[in-house]
Structure 1
Amino acid sequence: MMKSSLYSVLLLPLALLLSACSSPGQGDWQRLAPGEPDLRFTGMVHYLELEGGLYLIRDAGGTNHNPVNLPDVFRRDGLAVEVEARRRDDLLSIGMVGPMVELVRIRRAEPEPAEPLPGSRWRLEDLGGRGVLDRVPVTLAFPEQGRVAGFASCNAFGGFADIDGERIRIGGLIATQKSCTEAVDHQEALYLAALESAARFTTQGPFLYLYGRDHAPPLKFIRIEEEERLMGDWILTAHLLPGIGALSEAEAAAWHGRRLQLRFPWAEWDGERCDSPRYRLSPLEPDALLADYRLAPGSLPPLETATRPQRLEVFCAERPWLELLVGDNRLLLPWDGAFFELEPDGGIHSATGQ
């Protein structure tokens, strides 16, 4: 009797250990490396046919992270995960799909209460098991009750959506008529057809899954972060010189017409390009900003009259690249004592644009 009990005591921890290793429990962190992380994000695991097979994790901002120590149990295409990691700039991947990272901790993404679809915006991560072409944005938005819109790969589209519980019907899709490459046009046709065959949906944290009537693998989306509304083309239209700066009025005026392009895969300012930028949006207190620059009240009306002023930091290779101040439908770019005003060039690209 004592011998049997001893076996039970020894086997129970082993069974628990094997169970933990065989399936990534939802909400159970698995620690993989000592130390503190410098990256925290939610993303989706993707499998690429590179180097004999390569797994990456794409975060909500669209950045691909190449993990050096992803456990086998998490190597599941389409698996939603939460990650704490460290950049490994000392390592280089032959695939060059994104920055190398060492995972400190990982777990399956915890489910969150489902939110109403109206008002939400999503980016396609997987087209029914086919993946998505690199650097080709595919989006889906529910701008209001009963309506859908988005960008289908080459063209913007709009239509209706009937939603009843988890049941959904999308139809009446009308798209612009631009032509792109054969591969992009083919992906667009498949995407629009898949939307019109959608029958039900589920949400899991920042992820949306659309299931068709043909029992094919679902369309997998990730929620678009708030930074998405700032993606697009901006043009410099004016400037303010509220304090002491290095630029004269004439020198600042010569900047007018310069363009800023913001995308999740890349960004470009005045001819300088940044691949795979990282964006960080945070609240901004105008009074504190004026104090930082030693400016008088009223010096920056685009910010001081904004309903919700914010700061947008752009990092290139994890180093500060640009800092932008966000007002209502305009940006301010501080540079050499001047505050350059940028306005959307042709409108802000949101979920309905590129």
Structure 2
Amino acid sequence: MILKKNLVFINIILILLSCSKEEVTKDYTLRGHVFGTTYKIVYLNATNNYQKSIDSLFYLMNKSLSTYIPTSDISKINRGDSTIVVDDLFTEVFQKSKRIYKETNGYFDPTVGNLVNAWGFGPKNVKNNLTEEEVKQQMQFVGLDKVSIENKKIKMQISGMYLDFNSIAKGFGIDVVARFLNNKKIGNYLVEIGGEIRTKGSKKNNKPWSVKLVDPINKDGNKGYVNLNLSNKSMATSGNYRKYRLTEKGQKFVHTINPITGYAIESNLLSASVIASLDCADVDAYATSFMAMGLEKAKSFLEKHKNIDAILLFIDKKGTLKEYRTNTYK
């Protein structure tokens, strides 16, 4: 009888101990600066603040892929150092870029780095107005098919080529953070860097994650163009309404370089917002390529790729803001 009472007492103690060890969860919102812009990371029902871990991931991203850091791997490669052994982050971005380069028939091309610099939108920030001959000269360095990875080292067919993954790196950085949160069994989160977003699950009370699309005509307004349900999706927006420059004669050059022509001339397409259940790096790259393609080619691409949704904002011949939406968002 005494033994039975002791066993009951021990069981009660074990239950109390297990309850006392139950981990307390809370919601976290992390904010800061990275990749030359701001970020916001919201994740729910977590046991830890992962700020330090995420800072470490950003550090590794910059060390590998930032063209703005002279000591990064990509900066050394762009200066002609062929001894650099690229890491897994670099390799994944490169391979993903290769695939999208082929899918878009060269409209997404990270080898436009020399042209980006030449037109005055790169780290060197030299404001040039290129002649037709100078554009032609720069085009010899364009073409991702001229670059490969062999034994974890970058091989370029032409010396002097310049890699620039900035048009995919923000989205990829979001994916890296999302994978980390997935590994920590976080079921509900939103990761945003510079306007590119990836979400999982939902907000509190099962409300969907939503985003306000920027109005390119009134880009500094608070109203926005439209609110979108973004749960379990990635979204990226590319546009030329913020990053551009005007010459003394009023000529406008935009930061999206057309890798087919080599020119930085604005089309009637103001912005391309791409939404899909894909990696954010993918939609980031597609958004950039649509801006280079222009409206009609972008529409044609979307008609063939039904797994990708988009909202394209453009100016018609009368100067009126118009939109094209894929079926999901019509």
TM above 0.5, yes or no, is no
Q: What range describes the TM-score normalised by the shorter chain of this pair?
A: under 0.3
**Higher fraction of strand:** 1
TM-score calculated relative to the size of structure 1? 0.26
**Higher fraction of helix:** 2
TM-score calculated relative to the size of structure 2? 0.27
